[in-house]
Structure 1
Amino acid sequence: MPSYNKCTDNELAGFLKSGDRLAYEEIYHRYKFILHNHAWNKFRNKQEAEDALQEVFTKLWDKRFLLEANVNLSGYLYASVRNYFLNFIARKDIQGRYVSHIQKFTEEQNVLTDHRIRENQLRELIEKEIESLPARMREVFEMSRKEHLTHKEIAARLGTSEETIKKQISSVLKIMRAKFGVIVYLAFLFHRY
């Protein structure tokens, strides 16, 4: 049985590759402080440095069979810490963008939902106002705005003059403008209701 603390890194890597736990423990004790310092310099956070170290040594054991014959063990371990750090940064960036996206989406959805609620409330108020119009005026207005008929078509359907239809629609628009303001008036005027 070899004295592991006197073995070279290449010898330890060879023993490790064959599944020797004692060689693994020697590598751990030989490099844990140096790698912890290296990880601390990257993360500037004790817990993150310890997590990096644990991950590096766990992967070393898990991938021991994949080690090259003449692996530079210290270079391999330093590169593992660096790669862990780069992956950590990439994950943090992705998480940050994801959280930002979720926040933005939530804010936009809240605005959109609020807009839809207000739109529905306004639509209900307008419907109530239309229902309170005199029957003939309501009928003319609905033919104009909901059925999209021209003044001439409405006049022909109701057997009245085109001028009468224009006056009734104009009266409805004045009522709506007085009740709901200019924006709703313009919506009615341009058939967007």
Structure 2
Amino acid sequence: MVSLGHVSDVELILLINQEDEPAFTEIYNRYWEKMVSYAVRLTKSEEEAADIVQEIFVSIWNRRSVLVVKGSLGAYLIRSTRNLCLRYIERNIHTENFLEKIADQAVDSSQNIEENISLKELQDNIELGIAKLPKKMREVYLLSRDEQLSYREISEKLGIAEGTVKKQISNALKVISESLNGKLSAAMMTLFLHLLK
């Protein structure tokens, strides 16, 4: 079997469009672990995380002949993972103790977790906060959050110091948090902070 390790993501997508199973397997092998790791952070469940990522890959294979990926494949897969995780959270948000679980016990158990929580509101407000970031800070933030790159990887990609990357991300989170201040309920703010960890 020919190794596809040297083939670019763009070329792999084109091969998948032609129903090339080895190309699909290569993408699966490249991104499975990173996607599951990210999903575990959001759902706090290894089993659910694996199911979510499996669902994404099944969907990709089912749409293989018409699949179009704009931009980075890694970013596309992480966005898909985040969206499915948020749907999972939304479906379970009223389950007993679920909010406390995903927020690492940060929400007081006496708080009414069945208050009206809109994840769409959260996503919209986060996007508005991101749009307010200075261009360079936004670029660093999106490389960290959308592509799940480490500080070192971002540093190498952009040619800036690792400490600068860390500071930019910290400042970005501060700006986004401040832009949400007063717009979200306490429970929603807790969920936001958890999702951005």
Structure 2 length normalisation: TM-score? Answer: 0.44
Q: Rg: which structure is higher?
A: 1
More helix by share: 1
Could you say which structure has the greater relative contact order, defined with CA pairs below 8 angstroms and 6 or more residues apart? 2
Query: TM-score by structure 1 length?
Result: 0.45
